[in-house]
């Protein structure tokens, strides 16, 4: 062992203390088993979005059987590597210095502890695992004859299996956890079990691992704290108007349409990284939609209801609040998909109240939806549909668990090890607090969304009908600004690019650094990531990127320059700053409002109380 190893005398416990530890561990273990049995008894496995993968694996097995030599060759390579590893261990024990047979990827942080390299036993365990992982991945990747959909499914689940088997996830094979267990005389495992039982109680269709200290944040105080007021509400949303920070503001108001998969305050975390605050400080009259966290009572609210009671209702309300008929819109993720649908609907009805629109990390063409597509095929859709019909909503915690599995080592296993094996409490982190503050989705809306966007890709094909109107994205002539992120695994930038090409009006496409959240929420003060621009919109994203110019820092100032040229070109200057409640709409309550404040548990309790 390295010098980090705790003195071996610490392995010996006081008998009474050891008995107490074992008794507590046994009690917690029984509670855990009861939780698991209760969850299993109440849940129909066919309703899980992770349930039906057998067809893809069966197809892979069939293809492997047609070419067994490929598997044989991979097995021989694995065997040779293992022999080499054993030989290296022998040479190490004889005092020789040897090069590793295999090393972790540079971005693999699981094996950062020095014991994985300095201790011969842990080094052997690490390399054995990495050889096994490489062999599994090579076998899966080299199978020929699979459809893209089947290959993506098999790749995903093979990755989940391999990463779940990592030695870092087990007490006996993780040197950090072993040291911690000796140092605390096993209390870390007791504390970890207590945390696991607590997390299971708040989970749904998977394990929602605690990622942050939830007690460290209070919505409206240290997150979502930009001053404003709710000035309008209906069944699906509250409309927040923010208080100005400049004596004059642009004449045309700005409406933000966030996603409803999570809450709006991703765009208003702390003052230092709040996009809302930054926009207010630039002189915009900012309104934002805060979507309701729906329960079973809203099961019949569909996608068109989100359009009618969301952006369209907000535009009407903004006219009452400011006297202005026209607005600029900035939208994010699924909020952008809704905004594009709304603009197409407005175009079909000759409604020109939107002067400019901005899409942040937004899919409009779902031909290649990225890794999330692994959860969405006809078989899994049927399972989701059964669950939606039964419950009336999709539980946001289940979707959050699924999204976390897209980055399982960073967003699941690292917290699993920290919380349950090391027995440590997660640190306070505003972004992860928001990430765990999930929202549900009404049954009707979610079924429509999955069917028409992900499964059949009807929006880009002009096959969607909303409120009796067939919509067509090519009819949108509004100036639009697309910003996507280069590392996005939710809305691949190469897929968002084809959405930009569908619009008929002026289009500016911008590519930001980083991923789905960090690339969007990137304030200028941080001077991070950078972004690419190209005045042209060639046929393919590769051509666009080849001709793009990279700029340092945040894309926000570039957007500000664009929107003032396109959204305010004929605004006739500035107007006296507007205060919430000074127009025809009265203040209902202070921001962030009651819709954003309700958790899933509170929503479901209220629905049960109303139903009874």
Catalytic residue numbers?
Answer: 333
Dihedral of CA 483/487/491/494: which sign? positive
| Alpha-helical runs (H) found in 43-174 | 54-66, 68-93, 115-118, 120-141, 148-164
Radius of gyration of the chain (CA): 27
Cα dihedral value 277, 287, 361, 570, nearest 10: -100
Helix (H) or strand (E) holding 543: helix 541-546
Residue 355 has φ and ψ, to the nearest 5°, of: -80, -35
Strands of 190-345, DSSP E: 228-233, 237-242, 248-250, 254-257, 286-291, 327-332
CA distance 381 to 415: 29
CA distance 434 to 518: 13
For the beta carbon of residue 215, count every other beta carbon within 10 angstroms. 9
Residue 258 has φ and ψ, to the nearest 5°, of: -85, 170
CA distance 445 to 349: 23
Mark residue 22 as left, alpha or beta (left: phi above 0; alpha: psi -120 to 50; beta: remaining): alpha
CA angle 182, 183, 187 (to 5 degrees): 80
CB 210 within 8 A of CB 191: no
For the beta carbon of residue 9, count every other beta carbon within 10 angstroms. 7
The pair of structure tokens assigned to 99 is 């090069």
End-to-end CA distance of the chain: 62
Would you give the DSSP letter of residue 155?
Answer: H
Helix (H) or strand (E) holding 466: strand 465-466
Mark residue 399 as left, alpha or beta (left: phi above 0; alpha: psi -120 to 50; beta: remaining): alpha
Bridge partners, 8 (sequence order): none
CA atoms in the 13 A half-sphere facing the CB of 123: 21
Would you give the DSSP letter of residue 172?
Answer: G
Nearest C-alpha neighbor of 209 from the set 381, 407, 25: 407
CA distance 326 to 316: 10
CA distance 292 to 604: 13
The pair of structure tokens assigned to 393 is 């909503």
Secondary structure (3-state) at 216? helix
């Amino acid at each position: 062992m390295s010098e980090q190893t705790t003195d071996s005398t610490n392995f010996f416990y006081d008998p009474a203390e050891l008995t107490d530890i074992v008794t507590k561990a046994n009690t917690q273990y029984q509670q855990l088993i009861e939780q698991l049995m209760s969850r299993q008894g109440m849940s129909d496995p066919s309703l899980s979005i992770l349930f039906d993968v057998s067809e893809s694996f069966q197809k892979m097995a069939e293809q492997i059987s047609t070419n067994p030599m490929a598997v044989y060759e991979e097995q021989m390579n694995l065997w040779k590597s293992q022999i080499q590893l054993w030989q290296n261990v022998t040479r190490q024990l004889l005092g020789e210095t040897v090069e590793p047979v295999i090393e972790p990827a540079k971005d693999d942080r699981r094996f950062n502890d020095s014991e994985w390299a300095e201790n011969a036993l842990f080094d052997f365990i690490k390399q054995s695992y990495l050889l096994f992982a490489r062999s599994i991945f090579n076998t899966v990747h080299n199978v020929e004859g699979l459809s893209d959909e089947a290959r993506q499914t098999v790749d995903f689940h093979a990755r989940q299996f391999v990463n779940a088997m990592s030695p870092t996830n087990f007490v006996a094979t993780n040197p950090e956890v072993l040291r911690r267990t000796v140092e605390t005389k096993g209390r870390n495992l007791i504390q970890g079990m207590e945390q696991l039982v607590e997390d299971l109680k708040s989970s749904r269709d998977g394990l929602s691992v605690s990622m942050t200290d939830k007690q460290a944040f209070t919505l409206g105080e240290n997150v979502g704290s930009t001053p404003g007021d709710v000035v309008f509400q209906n069944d699906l949303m509250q409309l927040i108007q923010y208080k100005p920070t400049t004596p004059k503001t642009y004449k045309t108001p700005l409406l933000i349409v966030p996603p409803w998969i999570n809450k709006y305050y991703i765009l208003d975390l702390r003052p230092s990284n709040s996009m809302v605050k930054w926009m207010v400080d630039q002189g915009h009259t900012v309104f934002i939609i805060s979507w309701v966290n729906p329960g079973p009572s809203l099961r019949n609210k569909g996608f068109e209801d989100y359009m009618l009671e969301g952006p369209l209702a907000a535009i009407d309300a903004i006219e009452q609040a400011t006297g202005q008929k026209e607005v600029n819109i900035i939208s994010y993720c699924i909020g952008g998909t809704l905004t594009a649908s709304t603009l197409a609907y407005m175009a079909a009805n000759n409604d020109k109240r939107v002067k400019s629109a901005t899409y942040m990390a937004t899919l409009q063409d779902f031909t290649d939806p990225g890794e999330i597509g692994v959860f969405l095929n006809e078989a899994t859709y049927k399972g989701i549909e059964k669950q939606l019909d039964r419950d009336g909503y999709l539980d946001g915690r289940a979707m959050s668990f699924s999204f976390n599995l897209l980055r399982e080592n960073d967003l699941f296993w690292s917290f699993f090890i920290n919380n349950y094996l090391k027995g440590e409490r997660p640190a306070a982190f505003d972004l992860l607090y928001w990430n765990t503050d999930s929202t549900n989705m009404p049954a009707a809306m979610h079924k429509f969304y999955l069917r028409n966007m992900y499964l059949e890709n009807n929006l880009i094909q002009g096959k969607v009908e909303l409120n009796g109107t067939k919509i067509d994205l090519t009819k949108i002539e509004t100036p639009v600004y697309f910003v996507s992120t280069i590392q996005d695994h939710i809305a691949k930038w190469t897929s968002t690019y084809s959405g930009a090409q569908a619009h008929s009006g002026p289009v500016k496409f911008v590519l930001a650094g980083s991923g789905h959240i960090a690339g969007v929420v990137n304030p200028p003060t941080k001077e991070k990531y950078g972004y690419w621009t190209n005045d042209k919109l060639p046929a393919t994203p590769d051509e666009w990127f080849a001709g793009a110019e990279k700029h340092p820092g945040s894309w926000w100032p570039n957007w500000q320059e664009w929107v003032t040229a396109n959204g305010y070109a004929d605004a006739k200057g500035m107007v006296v700053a507007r205060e919430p409640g000074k127009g025809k709409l009265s203040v209902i309550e202070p921001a962030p409002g009651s819709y954003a404040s309700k958790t899933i548990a509170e929503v479901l309790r209220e629905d049960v109380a109303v139903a009874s």
